[in-house]
Amino acid sequence: MSVSVKICGLRTPEAVDAAVQHGASHVGFVFYPPSPRNLSPEEAGALIARLPDGVTPVALTVDADDATIAAILSQAPVKILQAHGKESPARIAELRGRFNLPVMKAVGIAGTEDVATAHDYESVADLLLLDAKPPRKGLPGGNGLAFDWGLIAEERWSRPWFLAGGLTPDNVAEAIRISGASAVDVSSGVESAPGVKNFDLIAAFLAAARSA
């Protein structure tokens, strides 16, 4: 099985180049000011210009309004919108129609009820991202927390999906084996400090995912 890997929260040309060099299929840019990985649409646009064909740029937003998303898209030509807040299924459908881009909906998982919630988005989202449920006062994602992968081990999904949450070079192969994921997403697990990507960890993560 070939595993797709998304490296999220990239902020520098060197980090983008490392992700591309080691085989990432997707790269994520965070447009959420409270995050240490936040960057401007202009900065993201310059980084996207470095990407070769075949590497998909993704814009992560959190409960963003239409004006905010339009401003991002005017400078950063991403190919997927990632909704990482409390967006409802109706809002996901609205985003797809308004911006004519595929939408990935992130859903925090802590128990079986959250798995059921994720299924509610299958009819409206193009892709799902199954992440660890964030702490009440934490960021919506990128917290380095994992969830019980066994919760989704027997699930079947009608949409492509990514596994996220607390993944590292050391555990990603096991996470893939248990969950059955064919795509994974990492941010804090390849950092030496919040928002600072470690190129050795990027290389190691991609190698471990490919070997799973």
Whether 131 is catalytic:
yes
Q: One of 53, 66, 131, 200 is an active-site residue; which one? A: 131
Task: Render the chain in DSSP notation, one character per residue.
Answer: -PPEEEEE---SHHHHHHHHHTT-SEEEEE--TTSTTB--HHHHHHHHTTPPTT-EEEEEESS--HHHHHHHHHH---SEEEE-SS--HHHHHHHHHHH-S-EEEEEEESSHHHHHHHHHTTTT-SEEEEEEPPPTTS-SS-S-----GGGGTT---SS-EEE-SS--TTTHHHHHHHH--SEEEESGGGEEETTEE-HHHHHHHHHHHHH-
- Are 208 and 169 in contact by the 8 Å Cβ rule? The answer is yes
Distance CA 45, CA 32 (A): 16
Q: Phi and psi dihedrals of 119, rounded to 5?
A: -65, -25
**Annotated active-site positions, please?**
8, 131
